[in-house]
Chains A and B, each alone.
Chain A
Amino acid sequence: MSDYWLQCTTSEGLFPNELAVFTNTADGDPVSFFVDKAFIKDPDQEGPNSIRVRAINAKDNQYYVILPADPFESSSNIVVKSEQINQTI
């Protein structure tokens, strides 16, 4: 497994050290959670952003992803489309 940047949207978190993160699975299901700013590519930016995740390129242009926090809607293991993965860190 390697670290990748996963596209997301960020907004202010509950506490100053964290941000609210919004992204989607490959099926379009919403995923949201709070995470420490250390995982965010641009921690001072709200709006389009990227979050550091552990992932593996699986099949059919999909990535299995381990998120660094537990989402409200799902497990922390999700599947995303390859175009949601920006670059290898």
Chain B
Amino acid sequence: MILSNKEIKRAIQENRIGIDPSPKEPFKTTSVDLRLEKRIKIPKDNLEIVVDPRGKIANTLKELYKDETIQDSGYLLEPGKFILGQTFERINLPLHPDNENNVIAARVEGKSSLARCGLLVHFTAPTIHAGFQGNITLEMINLGKYPILLRFQMPICQLIFETVLNTPDPHTGQFHGQSRPNGIVS
């Protein structure tokens, strides 16, 4: 069930949701806006790299990007360009609150105003799982026809919170009789 702004405030007070620094009130009816951090990652041009999602891909990804900082004048995201960003706020969705039956997960969503300009702030990866802790990484792309000026601490996305029924446990049944990470292998 999606949390209302009243329930979001209550969950923050009860430390079932952590947002640092605290978001400005009033919240929207069912979400909290998050802002853009100034550190961004820009893909390097003309690399002869094939991304193979096996093995040490984390090392490969580090080679793909270069650091950039959003200056006071902003960062111009050209049409068709893809960058990685992060939320300014750190999020904490603890798995061990006092009330274990009241765990919270979340989904990061774009803002409709920015979507009208062609800006995607995530694609295929909206889920913030219960137990998450950290800044949310944003996969940003300008699908519009014109450049979009990104500014430090601009409202960039919204977080929608949902209750998780019961305390998450591993699905040990899928591992029965084998030890591969992707479940039962026939």
Contacts and interface: CB of A to CB of B under 8 A. Distances in A.
B171 interface: yes
Given A31-B181, A72-B57, A17 B135 contact: yes
Question: Of A14, A58, A64, A74, which is in contact with the most chain B CB atoms at under 10 Å from its CB?
Answer: A14
B134 interface: yes
A29 B41 CA distance: 29
Contact of A54 (B90, B95, B172): B95
Interface residues of B, number: 35
Given A14-B65, A66-B170, A68-B132, A29 B181 contact: yes
A29 B158 CA distance: 36
A39 B94 CA distance: 12
A36 B135 contact: yes
Interface string B167-186: 01111101100011111000
A35 B129 CA distance: 13
A79 B179 contact: yes
Contacts of B55: 30, 32, 73
17 contacts: A11-B58, A14-B41, A15-B84, A18-B134, A22-B56, A25-B181, A26-B179, A29-B181, A30-B55, A32-B57, A32-B59, A39-B133, A54-B131, A54-B170, A68-B131, A73-B57, A75-B183
Chain A to chain B: the 9 pairs with minimum beta-carbon distance, closest first: A36-B134, A74-B181, A20-B58, A79-B179, A26-B179, A78-B181, A72-B57, A32-B58, A64-B170
